[in-house]
């Protein structure tokens, strides 16, 4: 019952800022996802392709699946037929592969470009220079089966809220700048995916349109399962 209550609580609070809740269901059993589904949740985020494809085959077909983890190019083909949104597109090579697999499936796949805004070196994503070069280059206009609908970023894992706030502000600034400077048929920035369980209130204050919440909904995870 707690899962349903958590979903309703988040949906009510996020409605005040018109922010979409992505329930991060990685490692969780179908029973837990169904509790969230029955409480009205339709957007679910997974970070492993094998788990994502299995759940998509066995759970209700009106669920909108979000790939939120690092995606390897050789695994795009498995999610291309059904994925709703790919959050963590961190290179032109990955985007080209998504375009290729989308074409094979007669689809246009929505994507977010992941921007490296954190201080940790372990985070993936474009830096600001790479992002500008790619968006202003010639190659992007040839990718007719992808639609870049926004940006995604992960703040530094720190208790320093001022730093987190500054990183989210930076991403929001890039979002606004791109919308002002770039005019392409397949680049239409509407979504800003930033904020997780630990920092989503700061993300919402900075204009996030999607927050990725897992443990605050489903409880802590057992990665040894």
Fold of 2-210: TIM Barrel (3.20.20)
Distance (Å, rounded) from C-alpha 116 to C-alpha 128? 8
Residue 123 tokens read as 């985070």
DSSP letter for 157, please. S
pLDDT at position 120 = 72
The pLDDT averaged over each successive group of 10 residues in the chain (225 residues) is: 91 92 96 97 97 98 97 98 97 97 98 91 82 92 96 94 96 95 93 96 97 94 57
Chain-centroid distance of CA 66 in Å reads 6
CA distance 94 to 138: 16
Check residue 73 and give its pLDDT. Answer: 97
Return the pLDDT at 220.
Answer: 83
Q: Are 105 and 81 in contact, with CB atoms under 8 Å apart?
A: yes
Q: What is the pTM of this model?
A: 0.95
- Phi, psi angle pair for 102, to nearest 5°: -65, -40
Q: Where are the domains of the chain?
A: 2-210
């Amino acid at each position: 019952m707690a899962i349903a209550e958590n979903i309703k609580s988040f949906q009510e609070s996020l409605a005040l800022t018109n922010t979409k809740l992505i329930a991060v269901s990685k490692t969780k059993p179908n029973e837990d996802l169904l509790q969230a589904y029955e409480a009205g949740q339709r957007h679910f985020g997974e970070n492993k392709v094998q788990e994502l494809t299995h759940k998509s085959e066995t759970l209700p077909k009106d669920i909108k699946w979000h790939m939120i983890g690092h995606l390897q190019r050789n695994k795009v083909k498995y999610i291309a037929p059904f994925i709703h949104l790919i959050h963590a597109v961190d290179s032109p090579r990955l985007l080209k592969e998504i375009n290729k697999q989308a074409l094979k499936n007669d689809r246009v796949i929505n994507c977010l470009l992941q921007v490296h805004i954190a201080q940790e070196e372990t985070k993936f994503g474009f830096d600001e220079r790479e992002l500008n070069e790619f968006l202003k280059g010639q190659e992007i206009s040839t990718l007719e089966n992808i639609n870049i609908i926004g940006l995604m970023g992960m703040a530094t894992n720190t208790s320093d809220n001022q730093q987190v706030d500054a990183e989210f502000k930076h991403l929001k600034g890039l979002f606004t700048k791109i919308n002002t400077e770039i005019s392409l048929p397949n680049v239409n920035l509407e979504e800003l995916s930033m904020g997780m369980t630990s920092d989503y209130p700061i993300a919402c204050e900075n204009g996030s349109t999607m927050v990725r919440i897992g443990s605050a909904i489903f409880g802590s995870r057992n990665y040894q399962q």
